[in-house]
Amino acid sequence: MPINNIIQAVNDALRIEMRRDPRVVVLGEDVGKFGGVFRATAGLYEEFGEDRVIDTPLAEAGIIGAAIGMAMYGLRPVPEIQFSDFIFPAFDQIVNELAKLRYRSGGQYTAPVVIRTPVGGGIKGGHYHSQSPEALFIHTPGLQVVCPSNPHDAKGLLLSALRGDDPVLFMEPKRVYRASKGEVPEGDYTIPLGVLRVAREGRGLTVIAWGAMFHEALAAVTQAPELDAELLDLRTLWPLDLDAIVRSVRKTGRLAIVQEAPRTCGLAAEIAALVQERCFTSLEAPIRRITGWDVPFPYTLENDYLPLAPRILQGLRELSAYQP
């Protein structure tokens, strides 16, 4: 079957790496016989068996704790947290153990653990199945955080993450798991972490987005070609491709950042601070954040919470029209 959506791309990347490296093991809730709630691990149990595709109890701290132990003993575990909202019981294991393992062991141990988890809203999941907690993990030294927007990048970035020696939180935007489609090369290829993608060049203003919100930002800038927007798909949320961001903002003089997560203390705020420190004399308008609201993710008002294309477009028009 041709690979044309993110689910298929993730599945293919896991299969390629499990065939290439017998140390790679997958574990999590319903990842084995059932193939995962979103079917991202479908068929892996049948090919690789119960020793490498492991169904676990509903115990996120145990899943990540077990993965850390596996990594210390030479395996390369890929735990799945069924929804990113469920990751908080494992927060202590991720932040206090996994992220600090290389440092606290003086380099004696590495932590090649790739935590996969679906992220964000758009599926009417309410406040326990829709959150975007990336900023909490970006705040933790020692973690890399990735969020692709399309199947081509999902496969290449996941293969890179699986081959690294440090922990990666690989966030998969479930709103576009099947909606984002595109050509994906067969076989093995990688996309380096920490490198963004310039999806559309322009000189009028810079727009940064990632995951599902990239598609909303793309729809917004497509509707307003007169804005001449340059659109950056962040792909790796941390470490940032800050040099590429700075080059773009120095060229355009205006920056909007779109994030699905709540506004306060989000990644958009950190990007705004970093850009202001480096591009102060190039900025022609205040940096604009277009974000979710500082409320629990709503069920009935989901489309009002999400920064969808109409709200993004309004913000971009206001940014473009700003005069000091």
Does pLDDT of 219 surpass 70?
A: yes
Where exactly are the structural domains of the chain? 6-176, 197-321
The answer to whether 196 touches 245, Cβ cutoff 8 Å, is yes
Q: Output the pLDDT for position 162.
A: 98
Q: Output the pLDDT for position 3.
A: 72
At 295, the pLDDT band (50, 70, 90 cuts) reads very high
Strands 236-238, 229-233: parallel, antiparallel or unpaired by DSSP?
Answer: unpaired
Sign of CA dihedral 92, 93, 99, 102: positive
Q: Output the pLDDT for position 164.
A: 97
The answer to whether 189 touches 156, Cβ cutoff 8 Å, is yes
Amino acid (one-letter) located at 52:
R
Rounded to an integer, what distance in angstroms lies between the CA atom of residue 136 and that of residue 265? Answer: 9
Report the SS3 class of residue 261: strand
Q: Output the pLDDT for position 299.
A: 86
β-bridge mates for residue 116, sequence order: 80, 170
Rounded to an integer, what distance in angstroms lies between the CA atom of residue 143 and that of residue 166? Answer: 7
> CATH for 197-321?
3.40.50.920
Which residues are catalytic, by number? 129
Q: Do domains 6-176 and 197-321 have the same CATH topology?
A: yes
Does pLDDT of 324 surpass 90?
A: no
Tell me which architecture the domain covering 6-176 has in CATH.
3-Layer(aba) Sandwich (3.40)
Q: What is the pLDDT of residues 108-151, one digit of tens each?
A: 999 999 999 999 998 888 899 999 999 999 999 999 999 999 99
Q: Output the pLDDT for position 309.
A: 98
